Structure 1
Amino acid sequence: MPPLDLDIGLGTSGLDDPDECTDTVAAALAAGYRHVDTAQMYDNEAAVGEGLARVFADPNRDVDREDVVVATKVHPDNLAPDDVRETARESLDRLGLDRVDLLYVHWPIRTYDAAETLPVFDELREAGLTDHVGVSNFTPDLLREAREILDSPIAAHQVECHPRFQQPELRELAADFDHRLVGYSPLGRGEILDDPALVEIAERNDTAPAVVALAWSLARDVVPIPKATGDHVRENLQAREFELSASDLDAIDALEPGDRKIDPDDAAWNR
């Protein structure tokens, strides 16, 4: 299996209305996205699958299934071995797919046991139900542990990452370990869009602060997966073509770190 090729993706956390979710996924693929991210926890895999099916079934489409990276994540309650096996197949049924490109451990908490959970992800990959294995919200130590246990290479590590929560250690480990770092909440749940540094750069370059934030992620080898609806779906793609100057990158790198926007709900993550 060749290495996973990931571009800016559509995040679907919070797309709770099924019709809106389906329409957004279809619009994103039409706009040029080729990476769609969902999870059992989001309770929208069926709606995501409807959006995918709408595009793939269109006789005038220019998007084939093989063009799109579809990722989902196993819920922290479902990480016991038999539950991984069962619920991963249920995810495929909801998505209307015979495989996903990337299957993540969503959080290493609750029913997660590295020695018991991770070999099942190898098993599912060997069975052809996923092309690649990923992890999400792992600390550096848990990441190293997972690498020791998995036979499959870790293709991606998904974490919160944005200009006010830059994850320098995990970015360095991604480079060292040769996996992609995928950044969720790359716009800080909207809270960083009023940041004076981002606003100034955006105004000077006649673009949006969101484009600046996403361009920073791409420049720092982080794959952003912003949730977007409406006009923002297309706007966010402008980050592919927008190149920050070295001085602008330095200014963003120097921002004071803020609090993470998504907190684990189980203290075991901090063990």
Structure 2
Amino acid sequence: MKTYICAAYAGGQGKTTLAQMTFSALRKRELNYKLVAADFTDGTGHSKIGKFFPTKVLELGIGSSLASSKTENDSNAPLRYWDRFGGLLLTGGAVLDLGANVVPQLVQWAHHRRVSHIMQQRNSPEIDLLVVTKPETHSIENVSTLIEDVVVGGALPVSNIVVVKNEVGGSFESFDLSRIKRAAEGRSLTFVSIPRCTSELWPHLERTFTPVEDALSATENELAEKFDIEIWAAYAGLMDLRTWTEEVYSELAKAGI
């Protein structure tokens, strides 16, 4: 099974939502994927996605900067930290929520360990890179930079690049995506969209770290009690959430997920 890396070069783009829905879509197909986070953790020891799936997420944290090895007794300690992630790449079957500030460390590690060479030598499972962006000029530019750093630079042997347009901030019609296409030239590139979720349940899901799939398996009565809302809001919110989820699954299916 593949490895899916969900990434962004800026916070607040919808990366965790993308990772959650990718994981959920694969589970819907009865595929046994692991959920992994390489992102900041708070005092609870959980990353943001770890709060949604506290018993399912393997928390890698953010590790140590490779530059810090100069001041450590063991200069290879940061490399070995990311070797844990390397083991996942060799076996596949993981969805990785990769924090924005962690990408440079991952790229450095991949070059130091010659990850592309080793994975190709061992005929390891494919890697798909899913990069999410809102309709913002700087965020779209960041997508191009991330593709250039991770894929074009040869850090990881990415088979497919999926650019996920997060429409929560509006339409992409007036934005130029040509730099992304140039960065990925000669490689498999797919554009998909995540529509804005208008369900009244969404703010409650975010606030309580309730996974979408858990909400979908509940009744309107259970949701009304859980979130302390009127039954009418719970019913309408659940219908809207189901519609949105099917739209997201349909879009992810275009990328083979």
The TM-score normalised by the length of structure 1 is 0.39
Structure number, greater radius of gyration: 2
Q: Report 1 or 2 for greater relative contact order, CA contacts < 8 Å, sequence distance ≥ 6.
A: 2
